[in-house]
Amino acid sequence: MAWLTAGTLVAAPAALLAQTPTMTESRDDPYLWLEDVEGDEALDWVRARNAESEAAIASAPGFQQLRSDLLAILDSDARIPFVSKMGGYYYNFWQDQQNPQGIWRRTTAEEYRKDEPRWEVLLDLDALGKAEGVNWVWKGADCLRPEYRRCLLALSRGGADATVTREFDLVDKAFVEGGFERPEAKGSLGWIDRDTVYVATDFGPGSMTDSGYPRTVRIWKRGTPMDEARLLYEGHASDISIGAYHDHTPGFERDWVYRATTFYSNELYLVRDGKLTKLDVPDSAEKGAYREWLSLQLREPWKPGDREYPAGSLLAIRLDAFLAGDRDFDVLFEPTPTTSLAGAAETRDYVILNVLDDVKNRLYVLRPGPDGWSREPLKGAPEFGSVNAWAVDPEESNDFFMTVTDFLTPTALYLGTVGQTPEKLKQLPAFFPAEGLEISQHFATSRDGTRVPYFMVAPKGLKPDGDNPTLLYGYGGFEVSLTPGYSAVVGRAWLSEGGVYVVANIRGGGEYGPDWHQAALKANRNKAYEDFAAVAEDLIARKVTSPRRLGIRGGSNGGLLVGNMMVMYPQLFGAVVCQVPLLDMKRYHRLLAGASWMAEYGDPDKPEEWAFLRKYSPYQNVSAQVDYPPVLFTTSTRDDRVHPGHARKMTARMMEQGHDVTYYENIEGGHGGAANNAQSAHMNALAYTFLKQRLFEGK
């Protein structure tokens, strides 16, 4: 396992039906029937709304051309085939026009350097889906070291988080007859050795948490029924998830169990001789173990001895010394008012730190020595742009991959070795004309005086007349940082049409570390919304745009964001695109994986927490007496992370109240909204055509 990855949650599904509503909920909510995801009445309603949306948007001038252009971008062979190294091969999953569901393939290091590598196809998902009559969507592979012959493949029906796992042989290029196979459920399999795996999945009543994740992890031997797998650890129903993994690093083979108690806290146990030893570290810290090192990234201040380490710090200590009682940590990173840790990656001998400084990346190389850790800038890392680096093969070399990009610079992939200048391997072509456009960073002042950064992409010499169609995007949750990145879809669909594009770095995200995130948790959620409103108001005050030309877009937690902006600040916006959103905060914790997010939002069953939750629950606050901007809601029937009932019910309520509301639901697609490139192109074309219809009117 790498630094800071122990106990990381992977989104996983729950049952498709919501928990049974209470009598009070049934009385107060006339649209609960729309939570029946695959019910005939609900799907009839969905199909009727889809037909209305297609008629209103898909028939608009330019829609078909935009969809065609976006599909060509998504299917383009000029895209960078990002790879992961296993043994002597580089592996890649690829989708294009000929392979809409995708192929899993591999090549050699020598071939990968070529403009057109020769690939060996391992699995064709389109052929598999056709043979089995299932729309399989790729969810990843775990291959057993060091031979890398046997793999555990995760596949999803229609893009849902729910997966099946099947054992696959890379020599035979076929599924192993009688091999490990896990039925469809939330969960996973993980290798211990060739004949043993960890299994965390649905074992029947009582085996899943209230959040819909595995409550137990078991050891499963080849040739035995999965139901007979030996229990290793069992958590509580109130936990988020339980899991285990084996560290295969030669010389440092270890087994770990993790118990995620909330979205932001977990316990990590070292398994030795069948006994579990809990690491005596803060539950809120992100934990990682690599070779001889234990790493901690703190979400809260911590004082294990005489020294207090601030929140946001990255600490390291030799694991054996820690287990022996040593608490004298090395500080690899300590935040400042403008910096936060964006990531850390290990090579064989180094740690590469990625630091955000006012939302701009800076990369540093650290190496342990007798006098502590040395630190210097990563050679060849650019001064500007969004930069990311990760190890090619941390056990064998100090090689790393690095990507460099920004809103107008097509992403480039570099291959380097620490201490040497990296070599550019590949770069995206320009999918839209960037000449005449420029990127700028600005700062708005929120209601409480907080300085809120945002990026803007606009034509050079933009006329400050308030008449520029502008799209403002945000997220503001779960410590997710929004950094500049090249989006060919945004470029073709919006920037090339003359629109201004803005990304807001509001509280709730991770741009300035844990404090920035925690400033907008639970009762303080309004801070994220005040920040977003401040950015909108700053754009209007600077005469970049005006309310009738200002649109907003967000998905998932960002869907909750723009849903609240519409309800709380309707006067600021001319159009809203709200995708795979949370909107009913009274019942969100009863819908699919919603209970796992109560550490972010709060528990609506507690009166003192519902008192603040209800203030930012759009479904409860939308009113027939308020004039809202036109809104497009989109979701997916197969989204088993954020329940489609949120968007369905909000649409139905707003229709009843007489508002300008449009709805489209992809029957497949999972939480990403689309299961293949054609669906993604269609969904994006709907969103951007809707925005053009509303914000470019009269231009």
Q: Active-site residues: which are they?
A: 556, 671
DSSP string covering 434-503, please? Answer: -TTEEEEEEEEE-TTS-EEEEEEEEETT---SS---EEEE----TT--------HHHHHHTGGGT-EEEE
Q: Which residues of 85-111 are buried (b: 16+ CB within 10 A; e: fewer)?
A: bbeebbbbbbbeeebbbbbbbbbeeee
DSSP string covering 220-283, please? Answer: EETTS-GGGPEEEEE--TTSSEEEEEEE--TT--EEEEEEEEETTEEEEEEEETTEEEE--S-T
CB-CB contact of 648 with 39 (8 Å): no
- 577/630 Cα distance (integer angstroms): 9
Give the residues across from 473 on adjacent strands. 503, 553
- 277/255 Cα distance (integer angstroms): 11
Q: Which residues of 18-47 are buried (b: 16+ CB within 10 A; e: fewer)?
A: bbeeeeeeeeebebbbbbbbeeeebbebbe
CB-CB contact of 29 with 23 (8 Å): no
CB-CB contact of 395 with 377 (8 Å): no
- 501/470 Cα distance (integer angstroms): 6
Q: Could you give the C-alpha distances from 563 to 133, 185, 554, 619, 623, in angstroms and in order? A: 38, 31, 9, 9, 13
Helix (H, G, I), strand (E, B) or coil at 662: strand
Compute and round to an integer the Cα radius of gyration of the chain: 25
Helix (H, G, I), strand (E, B) or coil at 345: strand
DSSP code, position 518: H
Q: Are strands 500-504 and 470-473 parallel, antiparallel or unpaired?
A: parallel
Q: Could you give the C-alpha distances from 319 to 181, 292, 324, 532, in angstroms and in order? A: 35, 6, 9, 43
